Amino acid sequence: MLLEKERIEIVETCKKLVTHGLTVGTGGNISIFNREQQLIAISPSGVDYFDAKPEDIVIMDMQGKCIDSIRKPSSEWSMHKIFYDRRDDLNAIVHTHSTYCTAIATLRQSLPASNYLVAFSGKDVRCTEYQTFGTQELAESAFESMVDRRAVLLANHGLLTGAGDLDAAFNIAEQIEHCAKIHCIAASFGKPVILSDDEMAIMARKFKTYGQPIKNN
């Protein structure tokens, strides 16, 4: 099976979108880019995540052609492809309909640095202008608003994150939704205090060495 490892990883992570509270139903989508083969593995359109099998994951080339699939790709495939075309630091994209991020995006607001964990994205998380789902206009808007960031709020829609691998991209999605929840709750009591750009730059440096080093056996 072409890109079997990537397909299995996407199937398992799509289930986590629901079990971790980052979407409902078949909302959202996930992809992995195999740079060596120049192929994208992406979740299919409208398939229940708990029924999906590896063969349901769609394989596309960088011209947007489906080359191995029994399904249609996610309607948002162009929003994934644009990042693989234009950024060499992202090999996985996670798009969620997470509640608190979507609430902020519905207000057409960005998520400021009200919590240091926002640094998983950058110094803040910008919000796009509204564009219809599944369009090239949405892809362009997402890309432009995520320059120098690893997450972006999609106006009246949801959240998109990217990283070097799928585990990291999913972690960013979880962390940013956590920060969005804290921000919404804090804003209901008063005006959240925003961390400075200098402090967020320190956080960004710290996050580069966060976690356990990889040991070679």
Q: For CA atoms 209, 84, 180, 49, give the dihedral sign.
A: negative
**CA–CA–CA angle 62, 2, 59 (5° rounding):** 35
Q: Residue 100: which of 46, 164, 156, 180 has the closest Cα?
A: 180
- Look up tokens 């976690």; give the residue: 211
- Give the side-chain half-sphere CA count within 13 A for 28: 32
Clarify whether 76 is annotated catalytic: yes
CB 197 within 8 A of CB 117: no
- Dihedrals φ, ψ of 152, to 5°? -150, 140
Q: How far is CA 209 from CA 88, 114, 144, in A?
A: 20, 22, 27
d(CA 116, CA 195): 7
Q: How far is CA 159 from CA 18, 83, 189, in A?
A: 14, 15, 24
Q: Which position among 9, 12, 36, 76 bears the catalytic label? A: 76
By annotation, the residues acting in catalysis are 76
